[in-house]
Structure 1
Amino acid sequence: MNTFDQVKEIIKNSNNIVFFGGAGVSTASGLPDFRSATGLYNRKNNSAYSPEYMLSHEFLINHPDEFMKYIKENLMVDGIKPNACHYALSKLEKMGKLKGIITQNIDSLHQDAGSKNVIELHGNIKDYYCMNCGKNFDLDYIKKYEDIAICDKCGGIIRPDVVLYGEGLNQDNISYAINLIARADVLIIGGTSLAVYPAAGLIDFYRGNKLILINMEATSRDNIANYILQGDISKIMEKLVEDDDEK
């Protein structure tokens, strides 16, 4: 039995699967990843600053106008829809097999595809709040403004509810993610280079022997995987989850 068929059999026989995903999960939807040759961090931009610095807490505080301009031009992409990977995971959850999704993405496409139990380690680009009074705002409110959105309650600057460089992850989310991974029978890691810490370190809490790694390229953690599938995760997950009578 080849690796793909082994992985499909494992998924078929388990009711305690956890999925840990990164930017590669959303590339088939038209969103750029960050670290590949064509990713966001390797794109030319007209700023004197690096993309990493422009996505930092320090840059937000010092240059809120340029920060929001960069966010709007690079991370707010209209018309983006979930792809086959998102729908495959949603299907697994509805079947009672998938216990949770832990994502480093900020696009909320898992929820758009129907998934309920999603831990967004880095927050999301759809929710916003005032840095002064904490009032919450949605994306429609932000889009009314050309650059910085201003709070209608106190006049403070509104920022996206995402974790920037220099900011800590939500500890409740971390604890929940660790608990899910530690108790998982099957851990599927997909679309991530596993280069971003502390998020990537969460997989060290997995105690099982069915660690499945799905990615376009090799990662630094391939040596700990029990099964490796290389290729487009949207196509691979769709085939892994489809029933034999769907072919």
Structure 2
Amino acid sequence: MSMEKLKSMIDASDNIVFFGGAGTSTESNIPDFRTADTGLYSSKGQKYPPEVILSHSFFMKYTKEFYRFYKEKMIYPEAKPNLAHLALARLEKQGKLKAVITQNIDGLHQMAGSKNVLELHGSVYRNYCIKCRASYSLDDVVNSIEMVPKCKKCGGIIKPDVVLYEEGLDTYTLEKSIEYIVNADVLIVGGTSLVVYPAAGLIEYYRGNKLILINKSTTPYDHVANLVIQDSIGKVLDCIVGE
């Protein structure tokens, strides 16, 4: 019954917005953040808690330690788009999906073919020198001889264009995300526990009556959603979205 209701909502709309989190990429074998022992935020074997390592002040003070964790835990260049990413790209191609708003930094939505992707927390594929702002690719970071990649132009430290703790979200990306959500007919929220702010608070801007939550576990917003499906987001979207 839930799947039929979801399909009818999608079929009837040409103004859909998708808002997703880490659970959208777990089916691409990228760990989520908070699963015990296996999540990215598991402190197992770590000298410092991950929340500390992924902070701006830690990056500036202990850059080598930051990059040791970042290269091991945050970069998955071999990951491929899964059924969820591919279904959303099809939905956009059909003219029904207006934007993908993601908390992920893995670039898998673009790899799947989505064009209008708003990355709230940045991307591992964009990197820049903190001194002269020169741009660098993910390969430049991964293949650097030293643990800390340095700028070829000025010798400054290269920083991933990802939002760390103590840093604010990009204003333009945030404002565009709010604009899409405010104007959306259907808002599909998937693969996120909706506990990390300010990103989680974005769904409060939704004014419609077709809020759909697809997640394997419960969220604080289940009680206000118009449809809740606790299942694999890839399986659900692939089943609903045709070619």
How many residue pairs match? The answer is 241
* Matched AA of 1:114: G
- Show the counterpart of 2:229: 229
SS at match of 1:41: coil
C-alpha separation in 2, matches of 1:67 and 1:43: 14
- Show the counterpart of 1:101: 100
- Show the counterpart of 2:175: 175
- Show the counterpart of 1:118: 117
- Show the counterpart of 2:12: 13
- Show the counterpart of 1:189: 189
C-alpha separation in 1, matches of 2:142 and 2:40: 22
- Show the counterpart of 2:2: 3
- After TM superposition, the runs of 4+ consecutive aligned structure 1 residues lying more than 4 A away are none
Structure 1, unmatched stretches of 5+, are none
* Matched AA of 1:26: S
- Show the counterpart of 1:208: 208
Q: Does structure 1 retain, via aligned residues, the 8 Å contact 2:43–2:49?
A: no
C-alpha separation in 1, matches of 2:143 and 2:184: 43
1:144 aligns with 2:143: yes
Q: CA deviation at 1:41?
A: 1.2
C-alpha separation in 2, matches of 1:154 and 1:43: 35
C-alpha separation in 2, matches of 1:6 and 1:221: 19
C-alpha separation in 2, matches of 1:64 and 1:140: 18
Identity %: 53
* Matched AA of 1:59: F
**1:45-89 residue CA offsets vs partner (Å, 9 max, x unmatched):** 2x3210111111011011001111111000112310000000000
TM-score by length of 2: 0.97
C-alpha separation in 2, matches of 1:144 and 1:190: 33
Worse-superposed segment, 33-42 or 2-11: 33-42
- Show the counterpart of 2:241: 241
- Show the counterpart of 1:219: 219
C-alpha separation in 2, matches of 1:143 and 1:228: 40
SS at match of 2:41: helix
Structure 2, unmatched stretches of 5+, are none
- Show the counterpart of 1:76: 75
Q: CA deviation at 1:43?
A: 4.9
